[in-house]
């Protein structure tokens, strides 16, 4: 398997070298909005540890990411009045992974509303800002 590349785009976001719409941060995890959301509130949850995907992450770091994904899922229900949540996580190109720093997609869902196709729609920054604020408020409320 290839090794972790510290110059991947999410590593740059974690180091503050590239912008993002932050939703949550603690000592081991970071969450921000996907810029091409498949539904409003589509969030990516990352470990701060430099893991490529589920194949190389330390089990404790993975467990923490999943705990944070659960919090984001619950906040997504509250913030967006969602009826459900889709959680996705891809590993290596063959597994659908495009960015090689482990991330879990947490996508609030409304009954009867299909997901937009992947990478089909780039959301406006103002809307992302509003959605990140709504999620952050739901997380702290
Ligand atoms: P995947 O590796 O298949 O889980 O896909 C990577 C995801 O990252 C896609 O949903 C992209 O829309 C998203 N993405 C790519 N670049 C950025 C970025 N700079 N900020 C937020 N999300 C991004």
Beta bridge partners of 24: 31
Q: What is the whole-number distance in angstroms between the Cα of residue 37 and the centre of ligand 1?
A: 9
**Domain ranges within the chain, ordered by starting residue:** 9-140
Task: Tell which one of 23, 41, 44, 107 to mutate to probe ligand 1, the residue whose CB is within 8 A of the most ligand atoms.
Answer: 44
Average pLDDT, the chain: 97
- Nearest-angstrom CA–CA distance, 141 and 138: 5
Q: Catalytic annotation on 103? A: yes
Q: What percent of the chain has pLDDT over 70?
A: 100
Query: Which residue among 64, 103, 105, 131 is the active-site one?
Result: 103
Whether this prediction's pTM lies above 0.85 is answered by yes
* pLDDT score recorded for residue 1: 83
Long-range contacts of 125-131 (CB under 8 A, 24+ apart): 125/21, 128/21, 128/33, 128/35, 128/37, 129/21, 131/21, 131/33, 131/37, 131/40, 131/41, 131/79
pLDDT at 47: 98
| C-beta of 34 in contact with ligand 1 (< 6 A) | yes
What are the tokens at 12?
Answer: 């740059």
Write down the pLDDT at residue 141. Answer: 78
Joined tokens for residue 123: 């959301």
Residue 45 CA to ligand 1 center (angstroms) comes to 11
Ligand 1 atom having least distance to the Cα of 42 = 10
Fold for 9-140, please state it.
HIT family, subunit A (3.30.428)
């Amino acid at each position: 398997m290839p090794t972790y590349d510290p110059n991947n785009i999410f590593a740059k976001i974690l180091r503050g070298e590239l912008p993002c719409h932050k939703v949550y941060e603690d000592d081991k995890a970071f969450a921000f909005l996907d810029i091409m959301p498949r539904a409003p509130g589509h969030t990516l949850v990352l470990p701060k540890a430099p893991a490529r995907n589920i194949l190389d992450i330390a089990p404790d770091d993975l467990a923490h990411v999943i705990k944070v994904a659960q919090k984001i899922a619950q906040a997504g229900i509250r913030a967006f009045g969602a009826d459900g949540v889709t959680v996705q996580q891809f590993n290596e190109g063959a597994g659908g992974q495009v960015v090689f720093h482990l991330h879990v997609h947490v996508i609030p869902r409304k009954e009867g509303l299909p997901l937009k196709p992947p990478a089909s729609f780039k959301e406006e920054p103002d809307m992302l800002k509003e959605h990140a604020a709504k999620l952050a408020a739901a997380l702290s409320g």
